[in-house]
């Protein structure tokens, strides 16, 4: 049992991927989304949930409180509300810093230019 410690490398994860990370059913993730205001996954045009690395950090905290420490949902909500700033640090869970979009754009443009140069040489 427990969640899998994996490196968060993607910007968004599907509910199936998240459920697999935590070894729980997707329905539990949806239920926790309704119960805990800290969980606010984005939804695409089809309505599919897209979980960010921050959502996964919040899920780790909730999972720890409910599944590992055995708190009730009300107890976990109360604990989170009273300890908003310190909970993630207590669990040694830090959100992954995001690369600024402009930096990514510059790298992609450099790759595009390199590919265009290769194409022109052919």
Eight-class DSSP state of 6: -
* CATH class assigned to 15-96: mainly alpha
Q: What digits encode the pLDDT tens for the residues 6-39?
A: 666 788 899 999 999 999 999 999 999 999 988 8
Question: Which residue, among 41, 31, 16, has the nearest Cα to 63 in the 3D structure?
Answer: 31
- Please count the helices (runs of H) and the strands (runs of E) in the chain: 6, 2
pTM summary value: 0.63
Question: Which residue, among 38, 63, 39, has the nearest Cα to 50 in the 3D structure?
Answer: 39
Q: What digits encode the pLDDT tens for the residues 85-113?
A: 665 555 554 444 555 667 777 888 888 88
> What residues does each domain of the chain span?
15-96
């Amino acid at each position: 049992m427990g969640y899998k410690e994996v490196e968060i490398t993607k910007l968004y994860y599907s509910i199936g991927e998240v459920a697999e990370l935590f070894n729980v059913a997707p329905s539990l993730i949806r239920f926790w989304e309704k119960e805990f205001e800290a969980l606010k996954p984005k939804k695409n045009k089809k309505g599919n949930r897209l979980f960010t690395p921050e959502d996964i950090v919040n899920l780790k905290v909730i999972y720890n409180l409910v599944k590992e420490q055995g708190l009730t949902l009300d107890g976990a909500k109360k604990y989170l509300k009273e300890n908003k700033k310190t909970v993630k640090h207590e669990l040694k869970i830090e959100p992954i810093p995001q690369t600024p979009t402009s930096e990514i754009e510059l790298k992609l443009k450099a790759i595009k230019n390199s590919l265009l140069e290769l194409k022109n040489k052919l």
